[in-house]
Amino acid sequence: MQTSMPITKSPNDHRQYQYLQLDNGLRVLLVEDLQAQQAAASMAVNVGHFDDPASRPGMAHFLEHMLFLGTEKYPKSGEYHAFINQHGGSNNAWTGTEQTNFFFAIDAEVFEESLDRFSQFFIAPCFDLELVDRERHAIESEFSLKLKDDIRRTYQVQKETVNPAHPFSKFSVGNLKTLDGDEKTLRQELLDFYQTHYSANLMTLCLVAPLPLSELLSLAKSYFAPIENRALTKQYPKVAIYEAAQLGQQINIVPLKEQRRVAITFPLPAIDRFYKRKPLTFISHLLGYEGKGSLLSHLKEQGLAINLSAGGGVNGYNFKDYNISIQLTEKGLLQLDDVIQASFEYLKLIKTQGMQAWRYQERANLLKLAFKYQEQIKPLDLASHLSINMHHYEVVDLIYGDYRMDGLDVTQVTELLDLMSPDNLRIQLISPDLDTEKQAAWYHSPYQMKPIDKQRLHPWRDPDVRETLKLPDPNPFIIEDSIARDVKSDHPVPVVVCQETGYRIWHKKDDEFNVPKGHMYLSLDSHQAAATPKHAALTRLYVEMLLDYLTEFTYPAEVAGLSYNIYPHQGGITLHLTGLTGKQEALLSLLINKARERNFTQDRFKQIKKQILRNWFNQSRAKPISQLFTSLTVTLQKSSFEPQRMAEELEDITLDDLHNHVRAFYEKIHLEGLVYGDWLTEEAQALGKRLDHILSLVSSPSGESERELIKLENVGTLMREVSVNHQDSSIIVYYQSAEATPLKMALFSLLNHTMSSTFFHELRTKRQLGYMVGTGYLPLNRYPGMIFYVQSPTAGPLKLLEAIDEFIADFNYAVMQITNDQWELTKQGLVNQIMEHDPNLKTRGQRYWSSIGNKDYDFNQRELVAEKIGELTRSDLIKFMMQKMRTKHGDRLILFTTGEQHRNQEQLTSDNMITDLRSFKQRAAKFSY
């Protein structure tokens, strides 16, 4: 066993780290986190779909699925999932191009037992012959789920237009066609693939737990030393991802959703070796600038583009695509060459005027501060992230590597900029109504690949930079350093520090996380916000117009780590500010002053209105189950409306209508705010007084807007069919509590916790009804509830409802079978989940803000719920189920879609069907608060 040098960590990081290599070649990172309540583990294996045999696309992904379905030591297929769930945990895995990542989190008391189960994936998996065919169908369901996903459809075109000898060209997901054959042959191929590619020397393991490093070391050796080291080496082909024939091409792709986007792509070499200086981060920092004089600002002023991002793109062992991705307007699509021309001009500007150390240092300073005041993340996220980092960074930089910027290397940056030229270029254009001549395999996306005419390339080679394009000035919001004030809070939870008629400000000084950051939430309630679909559409339009208008003024603050978001809700709008406290007030002043200007132009109004209409139109092309989740809140919340309904209203709205709406919106306002973090009480009070003064100039005080929720008591089984054009069917069955009490919250959340893994195992793994299968605890407007959901390529809504009802009817018996010990462990697992320690300022702030929204003014609702869970018996749960879900005619709401391939099956019908949503919502009984 080898141990190694210390690992650079943030001064704000209380964890202890130890890196070692076991005798079998497995690289391990141990993380002692004595503040964590959960433990986590992640294994990253250096194998992905690049390793799939040519005759078996999707094999790496198929294998990932099979490893969950039983090992020689723990052969039951649902045992691992049930164990994790019972003990308050979660687990998942993903297969990428060159890595497969398996990870889980669980209550720390059972970490050892969970590692015993987890490690067996990599020691002795069963590959149960009876489960091979079943899991093939699960892969098919996963493939089917994304058939109408534009990201997948575009990705497949990209794969078909690269060098076919490069492994990137392979179809990665797999389906019934690629994984066909008899079970015995397939099982043998799985075994062969596992033995050929899974080896301890290609794996990296990260363990995070509230245990001393010495104990973690003992666990790592005990459970992972038996993994076989087959001494494998990676041998991906030394071929370029693009040959000359694939460069200098424009690829047109027709999407399903309405969108217009161009990706200007420059193929670069692999980037891992650049991580210490991050030259591409520096280039993106300048190219992605959005203030006055930026590339995006110019394109917006010309009416050519809506947004821009720089730096994304696929990457791997010997390649990196650098993309300038631009969302185009209709005019921008017609003047595509002007957009590309401006992009090359800005690249030239960076090359000729941008190579200044202070510019690089601005970006480096931001990363330095982010690292110094690095906020903790959950053990699960940390374990997964670090296990992947072990494949990319030197040991000393496993944590610091993401933040490291050692200084500007002009030669390095220039070499990369030289590759961003018209002679090393691909253009990917996505838009409806483009010329196409082919269909991509598997996803049937129409596309065309054509050489870019040399005459088009010529003006881009050495363009004159127009005067309107400018590099950013020094950023006034960036600070060298900041220190959290060492002032203890007088109160354990937020308290009201400012209150008058129509407004209330809560405050809590943080004294746990020790970061000079703050979170400020300000909710403006107005009765005008969502009184009708037209009001709701106008409020959404106002928010989008405001965000668009503010971008140029606030971009320097955003770059400096001061971020904000404005979003509409049932009663009005919320502003959320976060970042380093030293400059937060300056940003808030800027936001308020600019918001009051309301300087909206007719051109931007037209563009933003089109954009919103397009987004709402595109929601009708989302996955069926996603559309049902939207429809659930729309059906039950009085002030929520279907995107299609709001779109009808928005079509005819004018700029004058918007200005009138904004005026009416602010006439009567109720403000509720939370200031949390490195803010002193007197600062929060002074802020409250200033906000009150500003509001008094434009509005008079008002009460809070009511949030009304449809009451399902005594309605029986209500049904609503949602029309969706998709091959799959989907269903949501929702049960609602008639009371918002801790006891009811405890019962619904415990029922969900007890059912979830069994429901998943029965309907997804055993019955193969679909890939998207689950249950969920779903509180709406404070009232607890529970949902069952399935999206299925194989069964229509009637069969899905029958399967759900059958499961519910049988579940009483399953509860009766649970031993007392298992019952207590199940309850404790849920209590641990509910009471999980907030890992950082952000999570704590979100929890406080949710409590205020739920009128949990003592901030102890979760403690009350946890206490009730502790008191519940199995008979309480069985009695609750029999009362709430006793028959198929109990009070509930069923939403469903019928897939194109299930229209000939027996249809789901009811006498209690919602056919006119508007009149249903008007006459239905409601809760309000």
Q: What is the mean pLDDT of residues 515-542?
A: 94
The Cα 145–Cα 134 span in angstroms is: 17
Banded pLDDT at 486 (limits 50, 70, 90): confident
Q: Which residues neighbour 678 within 8 Å (Cβ) at sequence distance 6 or greater?
A: 484, 485, 509, 510, 515, 516, 517, 518, 581
Mean pLDDT of all residues belonging to the chain: 93
Q: What b/e string do you get for 204-228 counting C-beta neighbours within 10 Å, with b at 16 or more?
A: bbbbbbbbebeebbebbbebbeebe
DSSP 8-state code for residue 422: T
pLDDT at 889: 72
- Which value, in Å, is the radius of gyration of the alpha carbons in the chain? 28
Banded pLDDT at 4 (limits 50, 70, 90): low
Position 435 pLDDT exceeds 90 = yes
The Cα 685–Cα 687 span in angstroms is: 5
DSSP string, 56-121: -TTHHHHHHHHTTS-BSSS--TTHHHHHHHHTT-EEEEEE-SS-EEEEEEEEGGGHHHHHHHHHGG
> What is the tens place of the pLDDT at every residue in 392-426?
999 999 999 999 999 999 999 999 999 999 999 99
Position 887 pLDDT exceeds 90 = no
pLDDT at 136: 92
If you search the block for the tokens 């008007």, which residue do you land on?
922
Contact of 618 with 602, CB cutoff 8 Å: no
State the CB neighbour count (10 A cutoff) for residue 648.
15
State the CB neighbour count (10 A cutoff) for residue 119.
23
Position 790 pLDDT exceeds 90 = yes
Position 718 pLDDT exceeds 70 = yes
Contact of 529 with 571, CB cutoff 8 Å: yes
Contact of 680 with 490, CB cutoff 8 Å: no
| CA angle centred on 175, ends 172 and 179, rounded to 5° | 95
If you search the block for the tokens 């004294």, which residue do you land on?
511
The Cα 553–Cα 633 span in angstroms is: 35
CA 217 from chain centre, in angstroms, equals 33
The Cα 107–Cα 105 span in angstroms is: 7
DSSP string, 521-554: EEEEE-TTSSSSHHHHHHHHHHHHHHHHHHHHHH
Position 3 pLDDT exceeds 70 = no
Position 198 pLDDT exceeds 70 = yes
DSSP string, 600-648: --HHHHHHHHHHHHHHHHHHTTS-HHHHHHHHHHHHHBTT---HHHHHH
Backbone φ/ψ region at 514: left (φ over 0), alpha (ψ -120 to 50), beta: left
Position 891 pLDDT exceeds 80 = yes
Longest dimension (CA), the chain: 79
CA 862 from chain centre, in angstroms, equals 25
Query: Which tokens go with 240?
Result: 């370029």
> What is the tens place of the pLDDT at every residue in 371-386?
998 888 999 999 999 9
Least confident of 175-184, 695-704, 912-921: 695-704
Contact of 292 with 306, CB cutoff 8 Å: no
> What is the tens place of the pLDDT at every residue in 32-50?
999 998 999 999 999 999 9
pLDDT at 557: 87
Banded pLDDT at 555 (limits 50, 70, 90): confident
The Cα 815–Cα 806 span in angstroms is: 15
In 395-480, at which residue ranges do the beta strands (DSSP E only) sit?
426-430, 438-439, 446-451
In 108-220, at which residue ranges do the beta strands (DSSP E only) sit?
203-209
**Inter-CA distances, 3 with 25, 217, 859, Å:** 12, 11, 46
pLDDT at 247: 97
The letter for the amino acid at 770 is G
Q: Does residue 265 sit in helix, strand or coil?
A: strand
pLDDT at 570: 87
Q: What is the mean pLDDT of residues 6-16?
A: 93
Q: Which sign does the torsion angle of CA 921, 922, 927, 929 carry?
A: positive
pLDDT at 556: 87
The Cα 865–Cα 854 span in angstroms is: 14
The Cα 104–Cα 205 span in angstroms is: 12
Position 328 pLDDT exceeds 80 = yes
Banded pLDDT at 514 (limits 50, 70, 90): confident
If you search the block for the tokens 């992947």, which residue do you land on?
388
Phi, then psi, of 716 in degrees rounded to 5: 70, -155
The Cα 361–Cα 547 span in angstroms is: 28
Q: Which of 699, 711, 660, 649 is nearest to 525 (CA)?
A: 699
Least confident of 30-34, 234-238, 889-893: 889-893
| CA angle centred on 376, ends 370 and 379, rounded to 5° | 140
Pairwise pLDDT comparison (16 vs 889), residue with the higher score: 16
pLDDT at 800: 95
Cα within 13 Å of Cα(18), Cβ side: 19
Q: Which residues neighbour 601 within 8 Å (Cβ) at sequence distance 6 or greater?
A: none
Q: Which of 317, 388, 347 is nearest to 95 (CA)?
A: 388
In 224-371, at which residue ranges do the beta strands (DSSP E only) sit?
249-253, 261-268, 305-310, 315-316, 319-328
Position 135 pLDDT exceeds 80 = yes
DSSP 8-state code for residue 319: E
The Cα 84–Cα 106 span in angstroms is: 6
If you search the block for the tokens 């459809």, which residue do you land on?
153
pLDDT at 929: 64
CA 913 from chain centre, in angstroms, equals 34
Q: What b/e string do you get for 309-334 counting C-beta neighbours within 10 Å, with b at 16 or more?
A: ebbebbbbbebbbbbbbbbbbeebbe
Query: Which tokens go with 783?
Result: 């009232």
3-class secondary structure for 881-912?
HHHHCCCCCCCEEEEEECCHHHCCCCCCCCCC
Position 649 pLDDT exceeds 90 = yes
The Cα 921–Cα 641 span in angstroms is: 11
The Cα 85–Cα 775 span in angstroms is: 13
> What is the tens place of the pLDDT at every residue in 580-599?
887 888 888 888 888 777 77
| Residues forming beta bridges with residue 205, ordered by sequence position | 28, 43
Q: Which of 246, 286, 86, 98 is nearest to 158 (CA)?
A: 246
Q: Which of 780, 794, 796 is nearest to 734 (CA)?
A: 780
Where would I find the H helices in 204-321? 213-224, 279-287, 295-301
The letter for the amino acid at 495 is V
Query: Which tokens go with 241?
Result: 């991802």
The letter for the amino acid at 523 is S
DSSP 8-state code for residue 493: S
> What is the tens place of the pLDDT at every residue in 600-645?
889 889 999 999 999 999 888 889 999 999 999 999 999 999 999 9
pLDDT at 917: 92
Query: Which tokens go with 547?
Result: 């965000």
Position 833 pLDDT exceeds 70 = yes
Pairwise pLDDT comparison (703 vs 294), residue with the higher score: 294
